[in-house]
């Protein structure tokens, strides 16, 4: 039979699959090395690392990625030697494993972007040097032996499915699975597990399946796995392909096949196109709803109007469910961002000679993929600054009566239609007095202006471009940029950031972001002769006020709100609108919005109410586009501008400055 040759399209599709899987494997490999360093199950971590490298080797060889195949093969030999010869897991080995992971990532990136790649000979030298200089158990310099014999029918071995149901009392299921694997390790080979131990699904699963190879199944009684508080029931069956006399693929047990049938890899662009079409349907249904309403007004007594109204209601309900389900497809757990940080914190703490523990909470919290892709860099800035400036040295912490190990906490949670992310450290915190002095020294504030700043306003200076209180400039932070990028990025995502700190007790940076940027819940209102909307995520409160309650201070309108005095911005004046009827109304509405830790009030004519709006990008010919984040279309065809609160405040500050 002639050898089959892939077409260019088929090869491109296979490469896409490989690169996606490679990214997941490298993330898992990174986490296993971190677990190994932190004192986890040594044998289990070494086996997992070796398994990942073996998978990497096979996949890269199949596609002709020689450099990846060579490096992963050599690395697999290293792991086999460490495991078989019981070599100690020391700092040198951990650093070497991280270097291997980094080089694999660089090589994958090279193949992905068609950049010429070559094998890093220095890394091979490090692997050989480690093996030749390690004197553990008198086994240094041993050459890796042949791989262990695989399970096959030639030696009487069989392949079995082990179905395990979790006990309801089992809280940490991934740890429970590892205990089970440790018990059965001496009786054969674990060929596959579903769900994966390193996946988020394992903690939510009621049961899991092990594809197990063993020459003597009788040596694996079900009682062996009956671990109290972890296992509820155990069932061992011969694998289906064994029963039919067919060889059992290592990664294709019945449970795996079922999972593959349920999971699809879909390009994000395809989901975006579907979401855009759903958005168009939402607009179209609004138009239909408007027409139905007009027909009902004209033909109230006609029987067909009731049927038409019922059909419209059914369409609205179905479309709403479709919209929510498409949105859920775009929602991903924030763990995909969080999982990068253990390695970041580990490397920085080693570089800065500090002891830092990273705690991650709320990793299952979901948000839109577009936001997930954008918040990685801001969070890295915050975490790096926490390690570099926040956490003190072990000696300094000990002198202050603190534990030698500092703690950085990454926490994500939902708050209504927002996601809240906290980056907290128990380090030195911020001194507002030092911020005031730095602002004066850099010419950002005069002495009088700096002295008038509250502690909160003084700490808010950290987000200004070029502002820094670092005594020493490093390659990590202290050059005066970074925090301004964080704020700019967060505000571009229609979110806000604030900082809270106590000297000596640490600091907390809180990011508040909408769950999605595609469809938002907004408050519609009239200002002048135009209809506008503001996202509900930025609104603190809406209140109705009389002219007598609005005061003027230094020529500016202000309002007392929650024991604070907030600035008022009349939108009809700020946006130079015509046809305003503000003056003719005895009462006006004030929409109070929060930006960072400050409040502002927008003075508007009248409210329309809350609606879910499909956001459309605006062209530059719109007069207020620089103060809006997009637009939406109503059922009657009217265009609604969705205003950007931060841009409006900036615009008003600039207008006031020009007047002065």
| Res 128: pLDDT | 80
- Do 162 and 36 lie in one domain? The reply is no
**DSSP strand pairing (189-194 vs 207-214):** antiparallel
145 in a structural domain: no
**DSSP-assigned letter for residue 387:** I
Q: Rounded to the nearest 5°, which phi and psi values hold at 159?
A: -115, 130
Q: Which residues constitute the domain of residue 165?
A: 153-262
- Do 237 and 322 lie in one domain? The reply is no
pTM of the entire predicted model: 0.62
- Do 244 and 296 lie in one domain? The reply is no
- Do 501 and 417 lie in one domain? The reply is yes
144 in a structural domain: no
| Res 215: pLDDT | 58
- Do 525 and 550 lie in one domain? The reply is yes
- Do 214 and 254 lie in one domain? The reply is yes
- Do 122 and 158 lie in one domain? The reply is no
3-class SS of residue 190: strand
Instruction: Report the CATH number at residue 211.
Output: 3.30.70.1110
Instruction: Report the CATH number at residue 34.
Output: 1.20.120.160
**Per the structure, how many domains does the chain have?**
5
Instruction: Report the CATH number at residue 345.
Output: 3.30.565.10
- Do 41 and 120 lie in one domain? The reply is yes
Domain stop point among 138, 167, 195: 138
| Res 260: pLDDT | 40
| Res 157: pLDDT | 47
Name the packing angle between helices 341-351 and 8-37 (round to 10°). Answer: 50
484 with 496: CB under 8 angstroms?
no
- Do 473 and 587 lie in one domain? The reply is no
647 in a structural domain: yes
CA-CA distance, 401 to 660, in Å (whole number)? 52
Which segments of 203-327 are extended strands (E)? 207-214, 231-238
310 in a structural domain: yes
Instruction: Report the CATH number at residue 541.
Output: 2.40.50.180
Residue 455: CB atoms within 10 Å: 16
| Res 146: pLDDT | 33
Which residues neighbour 267 within 8 Å (Cβ) at sequence distance 6 or greater? none
Domain stop point among 493, 514, 535: 514
147 in a structural domain: no
Q: What phi-psi label fits residue 212: left (phi over 0), alpha (psi between -120 and 50 degrees) or beta?
A: beta
- Do 80 and 222 lie in one domain? The reply is no
| Res 2: pLDDT | 47
Domain stop point among 138, 166, 194: 138
3-class SS of residue 535: strand
312 in a structural domain: yes
* N-terminal to C-terminal alpha carbon distance within the chain: 86
3 in a structural domain: no
CA-CA distance, 144 to 567, in Å (whole number)? 73
- Do 493 and 525 lie in one domain? The reply is no
**DSSP-assigned letter for residue 323:** H
Q: What phi-psi label fits residue 17: left (phi over 0), alpha (psi between -120 and 50 degrees) or beta?
A: alpha
One-letter-per-residue 3-state SS of 350-380: HHCCCCEEEEEECCCCEEEHHHHHHCHHHHH
Model pLDDT for residues 580-604, shown as the tens digit of each residue: 554 555 578 999 987 766 788 999 9
| Res 652: pLDDT | 80
| Res 361: pLDDT | 92
- Do 160 and 134 lie in one domain? The reply is no
Find tokens 């919290």 and name the residue. Answer: 365
The ranges of the chain with pLDDT < 70 are 1-6, 10, 116-120, 133-158, 185-186, 188-191, 198-200, 214-223, 239-265, 416-417, 466, 468-482, 517-518, 578-586, 596-597, 617-626, 635-637, 657-660
367 in a structural domain: yes
Which residues on adjacent β-strands are paired with residue 590? 543, 603
């Amino acid at each position: 039979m002639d050898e089959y040759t892939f077409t260019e399209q088929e090869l491109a599709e296979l490469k896409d699959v490989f690169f996606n899987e490679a990214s997941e494997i490298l993330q898992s490999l990174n986490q296993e090395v971190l677990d190994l360093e932190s004192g986890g199950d040594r044998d289990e971590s070494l086996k997992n690392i070796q398994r990942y490298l073996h998978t990497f080797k096979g996949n890269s060889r199949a596609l002709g990625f020689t450099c990846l195949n060579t490096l992963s093969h050599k690395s697999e030999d290293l792991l086999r030697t460490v495991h078989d010869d019981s070599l100690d897991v020391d700092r040198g080995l951990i650093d070497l494993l991280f270097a291997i992971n980094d080089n694999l990532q660089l090589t994958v990136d090279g193949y992905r972007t068609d950049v010429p790649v070559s094998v890093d000979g220095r890394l091979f030298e490090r692997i050989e040097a480690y093996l030749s200089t390690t004197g553990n158990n008198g086994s240094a310099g041993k050459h890796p032996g042949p791989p262990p014999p695989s399970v096959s029918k030639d030696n009487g071995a069989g392949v079995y499915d082990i179905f395990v149901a979790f006990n309801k009392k089992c809280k940490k299921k991934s740890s429970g699975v590892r205990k089970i694997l440790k018990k059965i390790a001496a009786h054969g080979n674990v060929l596959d597990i579903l769900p994966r131990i390193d996946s988020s699904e394992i903690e939510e699963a009621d049961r899991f399946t092990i594809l197990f190879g063993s020459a003597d199944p009788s040596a694996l009684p079900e009682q062996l796995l009956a671990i109290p508080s972890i296992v509820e029931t155990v069932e061992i069956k011969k694998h289906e392909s064994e029963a039919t006399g067919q060889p059992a693929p290592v990664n294709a047990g019945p449970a795996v096949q079922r999972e593959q049938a349920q999971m699809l890899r879909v390009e994000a662009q395809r989901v975006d196109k579907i979401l855009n079409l759903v958005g168009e349907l939402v607009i179209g249904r609004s138009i239909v709803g408007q027409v139905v309403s007009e027909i009902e007004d004209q033909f109230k007594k006609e029987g067909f109007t009731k049927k038409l109204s019922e059909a419209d209601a059914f369409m609205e309900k179905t479309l709403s469910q479709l919209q929510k389900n498409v949105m859920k497809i775009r929602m991903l757990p924030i763990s995909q961002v969080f999982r990068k940080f253990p390695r970041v914190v580990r490397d920085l703490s080693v570089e800065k000679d500090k002891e830092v523990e990273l705690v991650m909470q709320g990793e299952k919290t979901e948000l839109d993929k577009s936001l997930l892709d954008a918040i990685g860099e801001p969070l890295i800035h915050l975490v790096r600054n926490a390690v570099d400036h926040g956490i003190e040295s072990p000696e300094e912490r000990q002198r202050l009566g603190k534990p030698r190990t500092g703690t950085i906490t990454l926490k994500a949670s939902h708050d209504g239609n927002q996601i809240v992310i906290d980056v907290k450290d128990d380090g030195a915190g911020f001194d507002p007095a030092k911020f005031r002095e730095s602002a004066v020294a850099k010419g950002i504030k005069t002495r009088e202006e700096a002295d008038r700043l509250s502690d909160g306003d003084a700490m808010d200076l950290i987000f200004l471009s070029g502002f820094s209180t670092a005594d020493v400039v490093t390659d990590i932070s202290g050059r005066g940029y970074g925090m301004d990028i964080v704020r700019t990025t967060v505000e571009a995502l229609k979110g806000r950031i604030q900082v809270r700190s106590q000297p000596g007790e640490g600091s907390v940076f809180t990011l508040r972001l909408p769950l999605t940027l595609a469809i938002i819940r907004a408050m519609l209102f009239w200002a002048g002769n135009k209809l506008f909307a503001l996202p509900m995520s930025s609104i603190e409160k809406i209140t109705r006020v009389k002219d007598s309650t609005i005061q003027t201070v230094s020529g500016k309108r202000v309002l007392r709100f929650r024991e604070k005095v907030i600035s008022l911005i009349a939108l009809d004046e700020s946006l130079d609108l015509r046809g305003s009827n503000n003056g003719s109304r005895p009462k006006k509405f004030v929409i109070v919005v929060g930006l960072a830790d400050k409040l502002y009030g927008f003075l508007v004519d009248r409210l329309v109410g809350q609606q879910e709006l499909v956001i459309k990008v605006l062209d530059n010919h719109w007069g207020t586009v620089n103060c809006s984040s997009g637009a939406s279309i109503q059922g009657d065809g009217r265009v609604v501008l969705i205003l950007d609160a931060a841009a409006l405040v900036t615009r008003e500050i600039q207008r006031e400055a020009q007047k002065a």
